[in-house]
Amino acid sequence: MNSTRNVLNIIIIICICLSWVCTDGAQKRESEQTDSHTIQLSSLFPSSSSPCVLSSRASNTKSSLHVTHRLGTCSSLTSDKATGPDHTEILRLDQGRVNSIHSKLSKKLTDRVRQSKSTALPAKDGSTFGSGNYVVSVGIGTPKRDQSLIFDTGSDLTWIQCQPCVQTCYSQKEPIFNPSSSSSYYNVSCSSAACSSLSSATGNSGSCSASTCVYGIQYGDQSFSVGFLAKEKFTLTTSNVFDGIYFGCGENNQGLFTGVAGLLGLGRDNLSFPSQTATTYNKIFSYCLPSSASYTGHLTFGSTGISRSVKFTPISTITDGTSFYGVDIVAITVGDQKLAIPATVFTTPGALIDSGTVITRLPPKAYAALRNAFKARMSQYPSASGVSILDTCFDLSRFKTVTIPRVVFSFRGGAVVELGSTGVLYAISKSQVCLAFAGNSDDNNAAIFGNVQQQTLEVVYDGAGGRIGFAPNGNLLNIIILLCVYLNRSFTEGAKEKEKYDTKSSLRVVHKHGACSPLRSGEAGRLDHADILRRDKARVNSIHSKLSNHLEDQTYSNDIPVKDESKRKEELGSGSYIVTIGIGTPQHNQPLIVDTGSDLTWTKCRQCGRTISCDSKNKLIFNPFLVYFLRHSIVYISSIHRDCSAPRCCYGIEYKDHSSSDGFLAEDKFTITSADVVARIHFGCSEHDDNINEKTAGLLGLSRHVLSFPSQTASKYHNVFSYCLPSSDRTGHLTFGSTGISESVKFTPIITLQNMPYLYGLDIVGITVGDKKLEIPSIVFSKPRAIIDSGTVVTRLPPKAYAALRSAFKEKMKNYTTTSAVELLDTCYDPKGFDTMAVPKVSFSFGGGTTVELGFNGILYPVNASHVCLAFAGNDNDGEVAIFGSVQQMTLQVVYDKAGGRIGFAQNGCS
């Protein structure tokens, strides 16, 4: 017994010494620091089979939760066979989040963005804002049901999935919460102050279903949650219970939250969890993020247990990003070198700290300085190719230890934070270990201090005191204390010690994908680095977007990627170019045909009519019944069939190819990009369509009609838009507004055609083939006139004009073997046996002195390996209008300026 006591005493002494090393000894180490770290390379690659190590803070501190990686060893939310994202996917997602943060922050910081270049929206960027990697378990309801929630300092409203799922719920590990089984649940009235607060917490105003408040929140990857705002009992620990917490009870949820029940909002808005529990915790919380998937960290509410070595920096408030936690970065040091970064590099765009962004983003000049200094100190190691956003990588496969320079961030108020090795290097493989930072694409984008850099720190958020604190080695101390606790337990009575260390008020916090996550069961669902970074990119996109939503009245522009969806040449004339527009709240992305020859925008809607499939797997169909903010309108439509069903206005459109659409005229929110939303657009909600391409949801009308999209957005874009149409293996763009128009654009007046006043008319005054201007009488074009059209593929010319063009072209191409015609293309050649072809130039001259030389793709239309044809066709008679088609427009930037009464062409505008 005495020997046992002696061993126990020795252990206690060791623990005290180790504890001293991690606290008071830290200051001594500071004075002895060198300007570099030597690390074991193996430490960068923790084993996925390592056992779960629990956080002592979460086990021994009131109001503290364990934090786990969602797919880590400690997680119960993953399955044995799941595979995770690779590094490329992780980085792609990470960049998406960053882009979103920047977008949301960029607009009202200064006026500089108003005249800057357009914002590009990837067709499918998979962006997600709010789907971070770290998870805690919270009890909800009476009796309480434990729910695994992503915790997010960049989100405000807490929400979970609820029964019944009126449309879709994603898969989660625990049973979906059933509010009817809880005695403490009740819905919130739509006349309540909390319902009115939803606009600041979610970006969307609350709506009403009967008298109940309805919320809708959407993230950057088009993930969303829609349901009822409610109040419920939340249980952090048995001694920390809160009645009447506002949260979202989501009955329609979709996105990249798989495994977890929902999200715990830790932002600064009044509806965030810290704000609602302020009387107990005074808006103070702290966390240590687990440094590997085999550990848990902690999320602790209140000031208990905060390290004595914490250093604080003031919280700065970012305009249009008031719910984010802003910080002021004043310097970066690499090794012993303080980088020469002008103060304005950080002060102009600002900076924030975010639990969901993986990789820290820096302004371009700051990142360049950091990268150059780091590379200079790492010159002894061979470089490796970059990965996604990480462009500074090294091949360390031949080394067991690596010496890397110290990286230190200095914040306003004197807080100096030295990053651990895991906050400096991001290990993809031994042959690809990268600098764990990335540069923003624009000087005006805010810097973001990401969670990789936070992993070796205890981070303290003191909302009441207006400050954020950092304490080094918070997790190291927890591990040492945990070791002492574990050894101590081994030498005392198990039952008593279990009671002692299973402390009240403590919950686990885990990395969503980590070994400690309750979402994990083995390797199943484990995200690889590519997916993690892809999601992280999406999260940043969404945050940036959130920060720039409240735009002042101005004219600006946004780019939408345009894709050529025509896969078969026999689909000519069916509208080959598609853009994706978000419709509704939450927004549903709809692929719409771009059509300058159509007026009304419309999309397929439920309830499905006679010929629209109601298959629940068809994601193209917009469901207005899931969008609580859809308003039906009564608007008189000229030149479109109109009828009424009860109080609702009905429309009907039939196209010349006998396709048709009919349904209700409605009004809803249209999202061009996440930062550019038009609140009220009239459109057709089609419940019956015939012969419409099943791959598209509908049509975007870009004509001159009052109901066209350009006309409805004229106050914002002044009836100006432009596009570059792509070839089938690329994307082009559709840009609303005047930003980004090429300086080389040449304009021709818009001509109004009798009986077709809403089309864009042109005056063709001449055609040149080679150096020969064709002898075409002026009356050939002036009598029927001409239009430009995005939906017509091959240009149609009056018979006499086409005959002159064809004859001149054939004369120049007589060295090549002719072949059979293909449909309407009657001048074709067999290119087999030739490596190159000499094709004569073709130019069109328009009224106003504008001459446009066509590119190669605008002259020859490749049908197959043995058929390359002249990309023009003749009309059947002289009275038919000429049409300048999309094939001839592919190499041009085409500008539509309805307000100025002109159309422009820029030959190098798409390069």
State how far the Cα of 762 lies from the Cα of 750, in Å rounded to an integer: 6
Q: Does residue 232 fall inside a structural domain? A: yes
- Among 390, 404, 464, 399, residue whose Cα is nearest residue 434: 390
Query: In this predicted model, what pLDDT tens digit does every residue of 605-661 receive, in sequence order?
Result: 875 343 333 333 333 455 443 343 332 222 223 334 444 444 568 888 866 555 688
Average pLDDT on 701-715 reads 93
Average pLDDT on 378-382 reads 95
Average pLDDT on 394-420 reads 94
pLDDT at 557 over 70: no
State how far the Cα of 555 lies from the Cα of 870, in Å rounded to an integer: 41
pLDDT at 18 over 60: no
**Residue 794, phi then psi, degrees to nearest 5:** -95, 135
Q: Does residue 896 fall inside a structural domain? A: yes
Range of 598's domain?
Answer: 558-717
Average pLDDT on 480-509 reads 35
- State the average pLDDT for the chain: 76
pLDDT at 50 over 90: no
pLDDT at 586 over 80: yes
Query: Where is 366: in which H helix or E strand?
Result: helix 364-377
Q: Does residue 751 fall inside a structural domain? A: yes
Domain-ending residue, one of 410, 431, 455 = 455
| 571 lies in the same domain as 711 | yes
User: Residue 879's pLDDT is what?
Assistant: 79
Q: Is 335 left (phi over 0), alpha (psi -120 to 50) or beta?
A: left
| 701 lies in the same domain as 758 | no
Domain-ending residue, one of 231, 263, 281 = 281
* Structure-model confidence comparison of residues 719 and 565, the more confident one: 719
Let me know: does 290 contact 479? Beta carbons within 8 Å: no
Domain-ending residue, one of 410, 436, 455 = 455
* 559 flagged as catalytic: no
- Among 455, 91, 84, 445, residue whose Cα is nearest residue 259: 84
- Point out the catalytic residue in the list 86, 94, 152, 559: 152
3-state secondary structure 183-207: CCCEECECCCHHHHCHHHHHCCCCE
Query: In this predicted model, what pLDDT tens digit does every residue of 261-293 receive, in sequence order?
Result: 999 999 999 999 999 999 999 999 999 888 776
pTM to 2 decimal places: 0.55
| 699 lies in the same domain as 632 | yes
Residues in the chain: 911
| 12-21, 113-122, 820-829: segment of lowest average pLDDT | 113-122
The 3-state DSSP class for residue 375 equals: helix
Q: Quote the distance between the C-alpha of residue 730 and its chain's center.
A: 20
* Structure-model confidence comparison of residues 635 and 294, the more confident one: 294
pLDDT band at 326, cuts 50/70/90? very high
Average pLDDT on 876-892 reads 86
Q: Does residue 52 fall inside a structural domain? A: no
| 240-244, 378-382, 647-651, 846-850: segment of lowest average pLDDT | 647-651
Query: In this predicted model, what pLDDT tens digit does every residue of 497-544 receive, in sequence order?
Result: 333 333 222 233 443 444 444 445 555 555 555 555 565 555 555 544
Pairing of strands 508-511, 64-69: parallel
Average pLDDT on 358-375 reads 95
User: Residue 108's pLDDT is what?
Assistant: 36
CATH code where residue 874 lies: 2.40.70.10
Q: Does residue 120 fall inside a structural domain? A: no
- Among 728, 701, 687, 590, residue whose Cα is nearest residue 640: 701
Q: Does residue 154 fall inside a structural domain? A: yes
The 3-state DSSP class for residue 110 equals: coil
- Of all residues in the chain, what percent carry a pLDDT higher than 90? 39
Q: Which residues pair with 564 in a beta bridge?
A: 577
| 703 lies in the same domain as 563 | yes
Let me know: does 150 contact 134? Beta carbons within 8 Å: yes
Q: Is 426 left (phi over 0), alpha (psi -120 to 50) or beta?
A: beta
| 706 lies in the same domain as 750 | no
The 3-state DSSP class for residue 755 equals: coil
DSSP 461-511: EETTTTEEEEEETHHHHHHHHHHHHHHHHHTS-HHHHHHHHS-TTB-EEEE
The 3-state DSSP class for residue 847 equals: coil
pLDDT at 296 over 60: yes
pLDDT band at 444, cuts 50/70/90? confident
| 577 lies in the same domain as 704 | yes
Burial of 138-166, coded b for 16+ CB within 10 Å and e otherwise, reads: bbbbbebbebbbbbbbbbbbbbbbbeeee
Average pLDDT on 152-160 reads 93
Locate 631 and state its tokens. 């308003």
pLDDT at 856 over 60: yes
| 653 lies in the same domain as 758 | no
- Of all residues in the chain, what percent carry a pLDDT higher than 70? 67
Let me know: does 449 contact 353? Beta carbons within 8 Å: yes
Query: In this predicted model, what pLDDT tens digit does every residue of 796-850 receive, in sequence order?
Result: 999 999 999 999 999 999 989 999 888 778 999 998 888 788 899 999 999 999 9
Rg, Å, the chain Cα set? 31
State how far the Cα of 466 lies from the Cα of 412, in Å rounded to an integer: 13
State how far the Cα of 686 lies from the Cα of 689, in Å rounded to an integer: 7
Amino acid at the residue 554:
Q
State how far the Cα of 414 lies from the Cα of 330, in Å rounded to an integer: 9
User: Residue 790's pLDDT is what?
Assistant: 86
| 757 lies in the same domain as 710 | no
Q: Does residue 696 fall inside a structural domain? A: yes
The 3-state DSSP class for residue 281 equals: helix
pLDDT band at 99, cuts 50/70/90? low
| 797 lies in the same domain as 863 | yes
| 617 lies in the same domain as 677 | yes
Let me know: does 261 contact 149? Beta carbons within 8 Å: yes
Average pLDDT on 855-861 reads 87
pLDDT at 903 over 50: yes
Amino acid at the residue 362:
L
The 3-state DSSP class for residue 57 equals: helix
Average pLDDT on 682-692 reads 79
Let me know: does 173 contact 164? Beta carbons within 8 Å: no
Average pLDDT on 445-472 reads 93
Q: Does residue 357 fall inside a structural domain? A: yes
| 112-126, 711-725, 737-751, 764-778: segment of lowest average pLDDT | 112-126
- Among 438, 513, 543, residue whose Cα is nearest residue 100: 543
pLDDT at 448 over 70: yes
* Structure-model confidence comparison of residues 454 and 4, the more confident one: 454
State how far the Cα of 350 lies from the Cα of 366, in Å rounded to an integer: 13
* Structure-model confidence comparison of residues 834 and 155, the more confident one: 155
User: Residue 373's pLDDT is what?
Assistant: 97
- Sheet of 337-338, strands arranged across: 337-338, 329-334, 407-411, 416-418
Q: What is the CA angle 539-540-542, rounded to 5?
A: 65
Range among 146-150, 317-321, 495-499 rated most confident: 146-150
Q: Which residues contact 603 (CB under 8 A, 6 or more apart)?
A: 583, 590, 592, 622, 683, 684, 685, 686, 697, 698, 699
State how far the Cα of 642 lies from the Cα of 662, in Å rounded to an integer: 10
Q: How far apart are the first and last CA of the chain?
A: 84
* Structure-model confidence comparison of residues 359 and 518, the more confident one: 359
* Structure-model confidence comparison of residues 34 and 519, the more confident one: 34
| 564 lies in the same domain as 712 | yes
Average pLDDT on 353-366 reads 92
Query: In this predicted model, what pLDDT tens digit does every residue of 193-222 receive, in sequence order?
Result: 999 999 888 888 888 888 899 999 887 666
| 822 lies in the same domain as 765 | yes
- Point out the catalytic residue in the list 156, 221, 269, 354: 354
- Per the structure, the count of domains in the chain is 4
* 354 flagged as catalytic: yes
User: Residue 353's pLDDT is what?
Assistant: 96
* Structure-model confidence comparison of residues 311 and 357, the more confident one: 311
For residue 586, say if its preceding peptide bond is cis, omega within 30 degrees of 0: yes
**CA distances (Å), 786 to each of 378, 575, 795, in order?**
64, 19, 10
State how far the Cα of 364 lies from the Cα of 346, in Å rounded to an integer: 10
Query: In this predicted model, what pLDDT tens digit does every residue of 651-661 receive, in sequence order?
Result: 888 665 556 88
State how far the Cα of 547 lies from the Cα of 104, in Å rounded to an integer: 3
